[in-house]
Amino acid sequence: MASLISRIRGYLSSPQGRRNIEQAKRMARDPRNRQRVRGLLARLRGGRTHQGTTTRTRY
């Protein structure tokens, strides 16, 4: 497991890893992407979405 972590750290400190980190940060700031992630998490949690809001049916 330690070798996996060291490989990840090595990648993240490489030029390509730094570019990917910056790209991910830019994408995370985009409101459309944030809405997509909220919808995906709601579906994974079993919630329903309706016009951007999450509602849950309780029985």
Report yes or no on 54 lying in a domain: no
Give pLDDT, residue 1. Answer: 74
Angle at 36 between CA 16 and CA 46, to 5 degrees: 120
Tokens of 46: 């079993």
pLDDT tens over the chain, length 59 residues:
789 999 999 999 999 999 999 999 999 999 999 999 999 999 999 856 566 555 566 66
Residue 19 lies in a domain: yes
Asked whether residue 53 is assigned to any structural domain, the reply reads no
- Inside any domain, residue 22: yes
Is 18 a member of any domain?
yes
Count structural domains, the chain.
Answer: 1
Q: Is residue 15 part of a domain?
A: yes
Residue 26 covered by a domain: yes
- Determine the pLDDT at residue 53: 58
Full domain range(s) for residue 31: 2-45
Q: What is the pLDDT of residue 55?
A: 59
At residue 57, the 3 state secondary structure works out as: coil
Query: At residue 55, what are phi and psi to the nearest 5 degrees?
Result: -125, 145
